[in-house]
Amino acid sequence: MRLPKAKGQVALAVGVIGLAAVVWHQTTAIPVSPIYARIGPTVFPTMVAAGLFVVGLMLLWQALRGGWQTEEDQDQSPVDWHALGWVLAGLVLNVALIKPFGFTLASVLLFACVAHGFGSTRPVRDAAVGFVLAGGTYFGFSRLLGLDIGTGLVERLF
């Protein structure tokens, strides 16, 4: 039972080392001090890359030696892909639709998806609540402050 969990931790540690490599690589892409600078723009990034590398190695070492205790370990629960899937779907839909269809519609969908993921079985009520919340905010922004937070299909009806 210990192996799968440590596997995730190993992957995470490798990810941290990978991030260190990305930071390092991007640091070398910063043009070094084109102007008179005593301490150039790469000094701190280099320190961060080194720091990430060292902690990444330490995490890897810990993970390979059986891993560390997390809150999850106590209840041994698998991931609820159904709930997480719905929430993620809501986020993806929101990003995809907010430009073409406007703020309100994208927010209503996000709200309904998340609510469904968390076990709601009343999509119409969810959509209605989401509509009041998002629509209210939209008009608060646009009327009170004159700030356009994403006009789309729904907004144009009013």
Partner 1 sequence: METLAALLHGFEVAISPINLLWALVGVTLGTAVGVLPGLGPALTIALLLPITYKVDAIGAFILFAGIYYGAMYGGSTTSILLNTPGESATIITAIEGNRMARNGRGGAALATAAIGSFVAGSIGIIGLTFLAPVIVEFALRFGPAEYFALMVLAFVAVSAVLGNSTVRGLTSLFFGIFLGLIGVDLQTGQPRFTFGLLELLDGINVIVVAVGLFAVGETLFLAARHRYGQDEIIPVRGSIWMTAEDWKRSWKAWLRGAAIGFPIGAMPAGGAEVPTFLSYFVEKKLSPKPEEFGHGAIEGVAGPEAANNASATGVLVPMLTLGLPTSATAAIMLSAFQSYGINPGPLLLQNQPALVWGLIASLYIGNVMLLVLNLPLIGLWVRILAIPKPLLYGGILVFATIGTYGISQSVIDLVLLYLIGGVGYLMRRYDFPTAPAIIGMILGPLAEQEFRRAMQVSQGDPTVFLTHPLSATLLAIAVLVVAAPQVYRFYRRNRPPRD
Partner 2 sequence: MLLDRRLFLRSALLGSSSAVLLSRLSIPAFAQSLDSLKLFIPAAPGGGWDQTGRAMEYALKTANIVQNIQFEHVPGAGGAVGLPRFAGMRGQGNVLMVGGMVMVGALIANKAPVDLTQTTPIARLTGEFEVVVVPPQSSIKSMQELVAQFKQDPGKVSWAGGSAGGTDHILIGMIAQAVGVDPRKVNYVAYSGGGPAQAALLGGHVTAGVSGWGEFAEQIKAGKLRALAVSADKRIEGIDVPTLKEQGIDVELFNWRGVFAPPGIDDKQRQALLDLVDRMVKSDPWKQELQKRDWTSIYLSGEQFAQYIKSETDRITAILRNLGLAA
For partner 2, the closer CB: 45 or 83:
45
Q: Whats the size of the chain, residue-wise?
A: 158
Q: In the range 111-150, which residues lie near partner 2 by CB under 8 A?
A: 142, 146, 148
Ramachandran angles phi, psi of 69, nearest 5°: -70, 130
Tell me the C-alpha distance between 109 and 122, whole Å: 13
Extract the tokens encoding 154.
């729904």
Q: What is the Cβ-side half-sphere exposure of residue 140, based on CA atoms within 13 angstroms?
A: 7
x/- binding map, residues 88-107, to partner 1, per CB under 8 A?
Answer: x-xx--xx--xx---x---x
Q: Which of 27, 97, 134, 155 binds partner 2 (CB under 8 A)?
A: 155
x/- binding map, residues 18-37, to partner 1, per CB under 8 A?
Answer: -x---x--xx--xx-xxx-x
Extract the tokens encoding 121.
């079985």
Is the C-alpha dihedral spanning 134, 136, 138, 140 positive or negative?
Answer: negative
Q: In the range 5-34, which residues lie near partner 2 by CB under 8 A?
A: 34
For partner 2, the closer CB: 24 or 139:
139
Extract the tokens encoding 96.
């995809």
Element (H, E) at 79: none
Residue at token pair 């899937």: 85
For partner 2, the closer CB: 4 or 146:
146
For partner 1, the closer CB: 4 or 119:
119
x/- binding map, residues 49-88, to partner 1, per CB under 8 A?
Answer: --xx--xx-xx--x-----xxxxx--x-xxxx-xxx-xxx
Q: Is 21 helix (H, G, I), strand (E, B) or coil?
A: helix
CB of 155 to partner 2, least distance (A): 7
Contact residues toward partner 2 (CB under 8 A) are 34-36, 142, 146, 148, 151, 155-156, 158
